[in-house]
């Protein structure tokens, strides 16, 4: 079976690394904005508040993974996220 879009281990590792690195700033922004806003709610109804906060993180995670996957596919990502970054940099004309 010849397939030009084989998901190699290097590609999976690079994508997982970028995904993990991207998760930190997104989670930090959510924590800084969402947790103080929910402080009163957490003390009065911790289960509902916890479910809402968890849902918010899960939704952000889904969106991040989806967007990164689309970027990798759109720019012909080929086992090296540095090549992807260079392609993105050149396409913006920076």
Does some domain include residue 18?
yes
Consecutive H or E run containing 53: helix 46-74
Write the pLDDT tens digit of every residue in 46-77: 999 999 999 999 999 999 989 888 877 776 66
What domain count does the chain have?
A: 1
Does some domain include residue 40?
yes
Does some domain include residue 30?
yes
- Reduced to 3 states (helix: H, G, I; strand: E, B; else coil), residue 7 is coil
Does some domain include residue 1?
no
Q: What band does 1 get if pLDDT is binned at 50, 70 and 90?
A: very low
Helix axes 9-37, 81-92, angle to 10 degrees: 70
pLDDT higher at 41 or 13: 41
Domain range for 15 is 9-92
Q: What is the spatial distance between Cα 48 and Cα 78, in angstroms, rounded to a whole number?
A: 43
Does some domain include residue 19?
yes
């Amino acid at each position: 079976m010849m397939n030009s879009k084989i998901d190699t281990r290097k590609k999976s590792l690079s994508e997982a690394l970028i995904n993990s690195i991207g998760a930190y700033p997104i989670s930090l922004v959510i924590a800084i904005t969402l947790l103080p806003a929910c402080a009163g709610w957490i003390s009065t109804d911790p289960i509902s508040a916890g479910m809402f906060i968890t849902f918010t993180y899960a939704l952000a995670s889904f969106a991040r993974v989806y967007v990164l996957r689309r970027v990798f596919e759109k720019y012909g990502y080929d086992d090296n996220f540095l090549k992807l970054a260079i392609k993105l940099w050149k396409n913006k004309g920076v």
